Chain A
Amino acid sequence: MNRYVELKNHQREIYYFRLRLVLSLGFVAVMLLILLLRFFYLQVFRHDYFHTLADSNRIYVVPIVPNRGLILDRNGVVMAQNYSGYTLEIAPAKVADMDALIAELSKLVEITPKDIKRFQKLLTERQTLETMPIRSQLSDAEVARISAQQFRFPGVEIKARLFREYPYTDVTSHLIGYVGRINQKDIDQLEEDDAVSNYLGSDYIGKTGIEQSYEKDLHGKTGFEQVEVDAGGRAVRVLSRTAPQSGSNLMLTLDAKLQEVAENAFGDYRGALVALDPTNGEVLAFVSKPGYDPGLFIDGIDTDTWDELNNSPDTPLNNRALRGQYPPGSTIKPFMALAGLYYGTRSPTRSISDPGYYLLPGSRHQYRDWKAGGHGAVDMFKSIVISCDTYFYGLATEMGIDNMHSYLARFGFGQKTGLDMEGETSGLLPSPEWKAKRYQQVWYPGDTVSAGIGQGYNLVNPVQLAFATAILANDGVAFQPHLVRETRPASGSPVLTMPKQMFDLKIDPANLKLVKGAMEAVTKPGGTAAVAGYGAPYRMAGKTGTAQVIAIKQGEKYDAKKISEYNRDHAWFIAFAPADKPRIAMAVLVENGGHGGTTAAPIARKVMDYYLLGKIPQPLQTVTQKSGEQSD
């Protein structure tokens, strides 16, 4: 019985066991199927995705930054160049306690409070995973000290970089401008221009001047290296390499020596000078005083120095030559004379009688001449030589604002010249339409009177006035002013900037002869710039001007001594030479310089002496106030 039951149990047991075994087999089969499906999903269905991930794991694209092009003057003198040096850099993202780190580092190399401030400013400007420089131009000894202890400072690196250098510093600051570290604003702009990929790895971008305007040429084309890396980020091998293309070297129209002469001629005065070759539009000198050291901006300027520059009453950061807007004053008179002749408003020989003031018909308001008591009988020639205001008050009124506006506009007043530098202002050539739009006011006859001597609403910048002078000097044939003479790409042939004739005003030669003759007489005895023109071995033509900074009330007299320095009149001088075949034309502005003849004209003379004669001037003598007649 017992044995029977056991046997039966045994058979049933085997049956159940085998059933369970088959179930296990089924379990195994299901699990295997799951694995198979998973493999299929990963290796077939999502293969492309994982393949890409594997590649992006192992392939880094490393940008190779191109060398920035050099900037040379017309004779090949270097005005902006590169040098290699070591910087101490910190990756902010990898540092927990920045202050402690800087304190530790400053035990090894000198880190000044200025460096720290500059570095902190950089940090606020750009959120990045990359490194930011805290010290540049490390000496070999400093590099060695840091390298030996680098393991102590995660996130700290020594980098070899190319630096930008401006040998002429403040002499060319407004002309060349500077490069600076790329900030968020630059990135936005690059994104807009679709140029971000060309700046991967680049640290610097042109911020002002030629560096900014010719950024595209100077920067060059970034090269790329596809590098296979291991998980530690170490490069294993280079898969492919596209060499970078260095930026083009730029050869300017400028003469570095002339620039220096012009700059020095200003002495301690603030102001601007733009000199052009009237026959082709080349800019020969481009000065804005005071300048600044552009090197300060390259790796970010520290806040103290920035404040000092930015808050200085001398506004060294203001590019006066390009952006300064001043009333042209009497420098407008030669152009007004041409307009009067063109419209037949005045004949060359007609004289007016100057009592020392001008009255509008039916009005008792006196528009005063700069000379109390007047100049007596004045014809057109004399009106320019002695700068008679009364003559031009009447001329303007008779000509009318519309004719005046339309004729002066031909010389480029009120418009940008199209100079190849960003940021040019357009000045202001007023008209009744402009006034109605701007002030919702009618144009008064009095507005025309002041416009006639370049006051009132009129505004010009030095580039503009130099351009107008060059057109006049070149007998009405205008050439596009430009700063770059030649672009020399790293590979390929140099590209010359061809002089571009913009227009020919076809001015009556007789009219030109009269006005240019009068301008020549300005620099002769009896003229307003006689002192500056004295003894010139070439024929010099010019016109002085004064731009009022503050208005003088009716019945009051301008007295320079009573007015604070910054409220004194600005002095203008426009000039060209040689008068019969001009090779140089310029506009000189001396801020708060008072009289064009005494401060601005001598500067022009020095520049011309150097340009035409190769004469290097003695240091500028302090201009002594002449007693007696103070001409305009």
Chain B
Amino acid sequence: MMNARLLKQRFMQHLDPVLLGALGGFALVSLVLLYSASDGNWLRVLAQAGNIAVAFAAMWLVASMPLHWLMRAAVPMYVFGLLLLLLVMTPLGVASHGATRWLNIGVATIQPSELMKIAVPLMMAWYFEKNEAVLKLKNYFVAAILLLVPVALIARQPDLGTSILIGASGFYVLFLAGLSWRLMIGGALAAVASAPFLWSMLHDYQRHRILMLLDPSQDALGKGYHTIQGMIAVGSGGILGKGYMNGTQTHLDFLPERTTDFIFAVWSEEFGLIGNLLLLSLYVFVIGRGFIITANASTYFTRLMAGSITLTFFTYAFVNMGMVSGILPVVGVPLPLISYGGTSMLTLMLGFGILMSIQTNKKLVKT
């Protein structure tokens, strides 16, 4: 009895019970929704359960690690990730669907950009921590370059969704680190000014996606099909939804990518506006908890890291829901913690592991 309690205490020592509960809620929603989205495919659900188990284990592992290990890993991880990104451009890179995002490492293919989702904000937070005492304008420029190099490499793979998310996570670090308003406004103006140039840099399919966002009905059977079918699913769900397993858009195959990027449309169709409010509440709860952890973080590094992880998580959710409901272009971002797929689940849970580590290590310091 004593042993069991002790074991439980040791196991839970580095976990944040509030966050853990909410993440468990997401895992449940993911499995239940996936069962419907895959039209009752137990194998899919089981595979996702495996993904979740692995991701939770990884989270526990990261949460249990001392924070200075994480800081020490920042530079090697970043450099390693950057090298892999460069390797993708060599013949070792694996192309699929017109994009070269994967790397063949013999036994499997890996996607280096996923690693950078953690590595980039980690590197930047580490860099600001290192220069905390004497932060100058120069440091922000260096940090910006640390961000832009991998973002640019990923954007030209091309992988617009991932580069936007990594760009956002890095920007949050810069913002929280106190990037001056003047620079931000100047940067925004520069971005607007360079928009035509950026437009010319985009791949055709990315331009199409943006154009289709403006008027998806232009090409209802082609490029606009995803957006239109997603909006139909969401809109036809109404206030109460069509009921679990009863979504016609979902179960009659009209909804593309319904277990992955468009799984939110399944939720919306079957559970309606009420369901959306519930799901948003769950996200808000996790984000709120993240903000509290951020606000209470004891070091500069942990504050930046926790804030970036929390805001990036929100960005994930916003971009996905926005794209499914037709206010953002279809950029290929999964619904965080719910869409089918192991990689994004793992990356997200690693982030939450760091968040928990930040929270619990601070507590340990206090007591």
A residues with CB within 8 A of B: 6, 13, 16-18, 20-21, 24-25, 28, 31-32, 34-36, 38-40, 42-44, 46-47, 49-51, 53-55, 57-58, 228-232, 236
Contacts and interface: CB of A to CB of B under 8 A. Distances in A.
B65 interface: no
A31 B133 CA distance: 34
A35 B321 contact: yes
Given A20-B175, A32-B284, A43-B273, A232 B235 contact: no
Contacts of A38: 322, 325-327
Contacts of B175: 20, 24
Interface stretch (B152-160, B195-203, B247-255): B247-255
Contacts of B172: 24
Contacts of B234: 39, 42-43, 50
Given A32-B280, A43-B272, A21 B176 contact: yes
B325 A49 contact: no
B288 to A, nearest CB: 9
A24 B284 CA distance: 13
Contact of A35 (B232, B239, B280): B280
A47 B239 contact: yes
Contact of A28 (B276, B314, B322): B314
Contacts of B254: 54, 57-58, 230-231
Contacts, number: 113
Contacts of B358: none
Interface string B323-336: 00111000000000
Nearest to B287: A28
A57 B253 CA distance: 10
Nearest to B240: A43
B238 A51 contact: yes
Interface in B241-293: 248-249, 252-254, 268, 272-273, 276-277, 280, 284, 287, 291
B307 interface: yes
Given A21-B176, A24-B311, A43-B268, A58 B235 contact: no
Given A42-B231, A44-B238, A58 B325 contact: no
Contacts of A17: 176, 178, 303
A428 to B, nearest CB: 60
Contact of A43 (B238, B291, B321): B238
Contacts of A36: 277, 280
A482 to B, nearest CB: 53
Nearest to B283: A32
Contacts of B253: 230-232
Contacts of B276: 39, 43
Given A25-B291, A42-B234, A51-B238, A57 B325 contact: no
A46 B133 CA distance: 55
A53 B280 CA distance: 26
B325 A42 contact: yes
A35 B273 contact: no
A56 B176 CA distance: 49
A148 B253 CA distance: 28
A53 B178 contact: no
Contacts of A40: 273
Nearest to B306: A21
B171 to A, nearest CB: 11
A7 to B, nearest CB: 12
B13 interface: no
B295 interface: yes
Contacts of B249: 54, 57-58
The 5 A-B pairs of least Cβ separation, nearest first, read: A50-B235, A54-B236, A231-B253, A42-B235, A230-B252
* A16, A18, A24, A58: residue with the most chain B Cβ atoms closer than 10 Å: A24
Given A31-B314, A38-B327, A39-B276, A57 B307 contact: no
A457 B321 CA distance: 85
A381 B284 CA distance: 114
A16 B254 CA distance: 49
A129 to B, nearest CB: 14
Dominant secondary structure of chain B at its interface with chain A: helix
7 contacts: A31-B314, A34-B327, A43-B239, A43-B273, A47-B238, A54-B236, A58-B248
A230 B322 CA distance: 26
A619 B254 CA distance: 70
B237 interface: yes
A20 B295 CA distance: 10
B294 interface: yes
* A17, A25, A36: residue with the most chain B Cβ atoms closer than 10 Å: A17
A35 B291 contact: no
Contacts of A13: 178, 300
Contact of A49 (B235, B280, B303, B307): B235
B318 interface: yes
A36 B278 CA distance: 12
Given A6-B133, A35-B322, A230-B254, 8 more contacts: A21-B307, A25-B291, A34-B322, A35-B318, A43-B268, A57-B252, A57-B254, A231-B254
B235 A21 contact: no
A39 B326 CA distance: 10
Contacts of B350: none
Contacts of B235: 42-43, 46-47, 49-51, 53-54
Interface string B316-357: 001001100111000000000000000000000000000000
A20 B178 contact: yes
B327 A24 contact: no
B295 A18 contact: yes
A21 B310 CA distance: 11
Nearest to A36: B280
Nearest to A12: B178
A40 B272 CA distance: 10
A21 B295 contact: yes
Nearest to B172: A24
B232 A53 contact: yes
B233 interface: yes
Contacts of B322: 34-35, 38
Interface in B118-156: 133
A43 B252 contact: no
A20 B176 contact: yes
A58 B178 contact: no
A562 B253 CA distance: 81
A32 B322 CA distance: 10
Contacts of A18: 295
B236 A53 contact: yes
B252 A228 contact: yes
Contact of B252 (A21, A39, A49, A231): A231
A18 B231 CA distance: 38
A21 B291 contact: yes
Nearest to A25: B291
Nearest to A232: B253
Contact of A47 (B176, B236, B303): B236
A407 to B, nearest CB: 72
A54 B326 CA distance: 16
A18 B176 CA distance: 9
A24 B236 CA distance: 33
A78 B150 CA distance: 83
A474 B287 CA distance: 102
Given A6-B133, A35-B280, A44-B238, A16 B233 contact: no
A267 B365 CA distance: 120
Nearest to B175: A20
Contact of B248 (A25, A31, A44, A57): A57
B337 to A, nearest CB: 17
A348 to B, nearest CB: 86
A55 B252 CA distance: 11
Contacts of B321: 35
A57 B294 CA distance: 47
B238 A39 contact: no
Contact of A229 (B229, B252, B272): B252
* A16, A43, A50, A229: residue with the most chain B Cβ atoms closer than 10 Å: A43
B273 A44 contact: yes
A575 B311 CA distance: 104
